[in-house]
Structure 1
Amino acid sequence: MKKLLVFIFLVSSITQAQHTVSGTMTNALETDWVILYKIKGARQQFVQNSTIKKDTIIIDGKNQIIGTFQFQIPQTSKAGFYRITYRTNSPNFVDFIYNNEDVSFTFHPDYPEQSVTFSKSNENIIYKNYLNEISKAQQKLDSLQITAIKNPNLDLNANYKAAFNQVNVIQNTYLKNTNGMYVQPFIKATLRANPSEIKTTAKDYMSNITSTFFDHMDFKDKTLINSSFLVDRITDYVFYINYSENKDVQQKLYKESVKTVLSKIENLPFKKDVIEFLVAQFENTKNLELIDFLFENYYEKLPEGLQNKDYLKEKKALFATEVGRIAPDFSWKENGKDLKLSTLNDAEKYVLVFWSTGCSHCLKEIPLLHKFLQDKTGVKVVAFSLEKNDFGWKNMKATLPNWHHILGLNKWENKIARTYNIMATPTYFILDKNKKIIAKPETLEDLKAFFTKE
């Protein structure tokens, strides 16, 4: 009996020690699940997942599906920024602070950041109210500044001074009211370093924004590091604040903004995560110049023990055959001679095609490719055939004269095929005379279109 009472007491204590995170979606038609993560800088750490309970309610005479979910959070969970995500095709999320209190919020899944409102959690309610107030005050200040630049004859100095003071009043009030709270570092870091007087030109205005952008952000603060805050601001600074429509100027701005950001980060694990985050962003636009810049100047200069060699190898392999790269070199024997892709000099352009006699599409397309290119004297084909043996290949290549033919045994496991990330045949690359990849046609029709336009 005594052991039973102890057991009941322990269960009761554990139950009471838990907090809940509850969410309500105001339109949950397409969503069935949510995942809870803890944010650690540029990374997310899985915590729990949950299904969504759906109910139909009538609003203005129309049926609307409301979704609710809940997570049980043990009191031992550390304070920090957390995130719930949903949808697989284009993940959306809601970020919130957890600091040993129940959290409850409502949001629309299509625009969560703009719609989220908190009904429980003092930290989140205060932060949301602060963001609303400081945003309105900052917008008024910016509006006066822009109006003054557009209309230099207007005297808006008094209005600007009043708006400037109002921003600072809001900031100081919230700093005072959040003394000792988890949210205070975010409030400190959010305030813009506004000039005390109106800037008279757009150039001076933008220069002030870029030069003071990080003035109130402490990159040593572990609370900020272990949240999405700094990564979000880094994203704004690199990809939105420093912007030019001129491609060459934009590349320079990217490099300068990356230098600025990474020079501020002393926490090496966080710096590593930020570099990997930036690589992923530039990967989306296949900006190889900036990816190389990040690897060569920053990632590879991290301490050896901190670098992820597998990550580095994987990314370099992934980008090795993108447009703009020099095609990875390989050699073969042809009519008793040793040849290398890099030293071929018998054409102005080359079509490198990976194909196979075991591929029905190839048996149809490769003869068509041969026929299309036979009168194009400045183009030479390097045909790399992925085979299990040479039987079919010997017969087929005889029907394709004036090409360079290479036999690649072991088919998909062939080393060169793996270097070129070949997942299907036929796969085409168009190279210039220096063997730089200038196009990657997805189909034979795309290849024909490339040469027809020339």
Structure 2
Amino acid sequence: MIKKILPILLLISSISYAQHTIKGAMSPKLETDWLILYKIEGTKQVFVNNTTLKTDSLLIGGKKEAVSSFALKLPASAKPGTYRATYALEGATFIDFFYNNEDVSFIFNPEYPQESVAYTESSENTLYNNYNRDISMMQQRLDSIQIAVLQNPSLDFKEKYKKAYRDVNAVQNKYVESAKGKYVAPFIIASARKNTPEILNSANDYLANIKNTFFDYLDFSNKTLMNSSFLINRVLDYVFYINYAEDLEQQQVLFKSSIDTVLSKINNQSYKRDIIQFLIEQFETSKNLEIIDYLFEKHYNKLPINLQDSKFKNEKQALFAAEIGRIAPDFSWTENGRNLKLSTLNDAENYVLVFWSTGCSHCLREIPELYSYMKTKPNTKVIAFALENDSYAWSTYKNTNLQGWHNVLGLNKWVNETARTYQINSTPTYFVLDKNKKIIEKPNEINDVKEFLEKK
């Protein structure tokens, strides 16, 4: 009996720990020669493997074409999940696919990977790819009928719409059934649109239905969906596209309400933290400080303390400390025997804070020009913060050329604490402050300073 059982155990063991291969070909051929494979875990990418790309030729459309190809082995311990092959630094840089204990092989155009991919191996990816193709075709047919009626209410497309509606549901149900027990099943279920069974005659009703039913099939507790880009992409769609307004003030209102709605759907606190951090980084690109503050104050700071990342919070607070709309970070200095602080200055309606250096040729050209110009602006004072390694050249220069300004010496130059707080990486760098020391402008150069002050 033992002799009979042993081969079976060995077979099971070899199947359980078999290494699988990921193969890909990109047409047209890439200039780069590397590829990195990651596994998606929540909102993060975890390194799995890397390889070099080689040039091959494939028969495409009846003729041979040069392609960039790769093949790499997954570790024997690799778990089912969403994986990401990254192959460039700019543009469309990656392709996502599923791995579920089978070899995966595909070909795609690296300029628009997800739209062009075709799988030659992997039943899971082939099924999901076919689903996306078929459901998109049916949904577009349904949407085109609906939009035609919205554009021309006199059209009688009720029966045509009902047939298209049945066709969409038939395709959805077919693939839900085919996906049972497969890794891609949650993605197919979550991809469904909740269309109205009857055609709508109002654009507002149409848009309201999309918005109100957006989350009906999204399960934010499903680990398979969480460990992919699927839910993240849906969050981005809802926050930035479904809730859109041309008016900037209304857009801020919509951002806040859409964020509240998204986060109310997430019960997993760790995943909620990751989504909040992800959204903060999205709004970071547009420097939308109002929404970033809202995300921290309304949501992030209310997470359990043990889930809050103090390093993340400190980094973001430091990153935005000197942006327009913020109160300028405080600093102090000695001037004519008096101790002064930026926050308590009260001798002007506006201030120009300029970080400069006696060792900077641009500064030595612009600072005299600024000095002459500021004589025409008696209600605006200059705070000249000199980044120096020592005081000798600065002391001589400011006593001779910059009388009447608030002159501050910042030793240690680029590593000066105040300079780092203001994220100074070049000189001269300008800030315009109001009387309350709120940053109201960050001019790029002296002409921008003049242009802004002329409007005041």
Structure 1 segment 43-442 matched on structure 2, within 5 A: 43-55=44-56, 64-90=65-91, 92-398=93-399, 399-442=401-444
Distance in 1 between residues matched to 2:336 and 2:386, nearest whole Å: 17
Shift of residue 63 of structure 1?
8.2
Q: Cα deviations across residues 262-281 of structure 1 (Å, max 9, x unaligned)?
A: 11111122111111111111
Shift of residue 337 of structure 1?
2.9
Q: SS in structure 2 opposite 1:435?
A: coil
Distance in 2 between residues matched to 1:172 and 1:14, nearest whole Å: 32
Shift of residue 433 of structure 1?
2.4
Asked whether the 8 Å contact 2:17–2:77 carries over to 1, the reply is no
Query: What amino acid is the match of 2:193?
Result: R
Q: Structure 1 residues 395 and 244, CA, compared in 2 at 3 Å: closer, same or farther?
A: same
Q: SS in structure 2 opposite 1:305?
A: helix
Q: How well do the aligned residues superpose, as a CA RMSD in angstroms?
A: 2.2
Distance in 2 between residues matched to 1:94 and 1:112, nearest whole Å: 6
Asked whether the 8 Å contact 1:430–1:440 carries over to 2, the reply is yes
Q: Cα deviations across residues 307-351 of structure 1 (Å, max 9, x unaligned)?
A: 111111011000011112121122223223332222323223211
Asked whether the 8 Å contact 1:75–1:100 carries over to 2, the reply is no
Query: What amino acid is the match of 1:276?
Result: Q
Distance in 1 between residues matched to 2:168 and 2:141, nearest whole Å: 9
Q: Structure 1 residues 61 and 107, CA, compared in 2 at 3 Å: closer, same or farther?
A: closer
The number of equivalent residue pairs is: 445
Q: Cα deviations across residues 105-155 of structure 1 (Å, max 9, x unaligned)?
A: 110111112111111100000000001111111111111111222222222
| TM-score between both structures, scaled by the size of structure 2 | 0.92
Structure 1 segment 17-32 matched on structure 2, within 5 A: 17-32=18-33
Distance in 2 between residues matched to 1:106 and 1:297, nearest whole Å: 45
Query: What amino acid is the match of 2:283?
Result: F
Q: Which residue in 1 is equivalent to 2:453?
A: 451
Shift of residue 300 of structure 1?
1.6
Shift of residue 419 of structure 1?
1.3
Shift of residue 365 of structure 1?
2.3
Give percent identity, aligned residues only. 56
Structure 1 stretches of 4+ moved >4 Å: 12-16, 56-64
Shift of residue 159 of structure 1?
1.2
Q: Structure 1 residues 52 and 315, CA, compared in 2 at 3 Å: closer, same or farther?
A: same
Q: Which residue in 2 is equivalent to 1:5?
A: none
Q: Cα deviations across residues 215-246 of structure 1 (Å, max 9, x unaligned)?
A: 01111111111111100111111111111111
Q: Structure 1 residues 61 and 159, CA, compared in 2 at 3 Å: closer, same or farther?
A: closer
List gaps (5 residues or longer) in structure 2.
1-9
Query: What amino acid is the match of 2:442?
Result: K
Q: Cα deviations across residues 411-441 of structure 1 (Å, max 9, x unaligned)?
A: 2332212211122222111112222212212
Q: SS in structure 2 opposite 1:76?
A: coil
Distance in 2 between residues matched to 1:140 and 1:343, nearest whole Å: 65
Asked whether the 8 Å contact 2:92–2:113 carries over to 1, the reply is no
Which 10-residue stretch deviates more, 56-65 or 252-261?
56-65
Q: Structure 1 residues 55 and 452, CA, compared in 2 at 3 Å: closer, same or farther?
A: farther
Distance in 1 between residues matched to 2:92 and 2:294, nearest whole Å: 29
List gaps (5 residues or longer) in structure 1.
1-8
Distance in 1 between residues matched to 2:248 and 2:30, nearest whole Å: 42
Distance in 2 between residues matched to 1:57 and 1:30, nearest whole Å: 17
Distance in 2 between residues matched to 1:374 and 1:121, nearest whole Å: 74
| TM-score between both structures, scaled by the size of structure 1 | 0.93
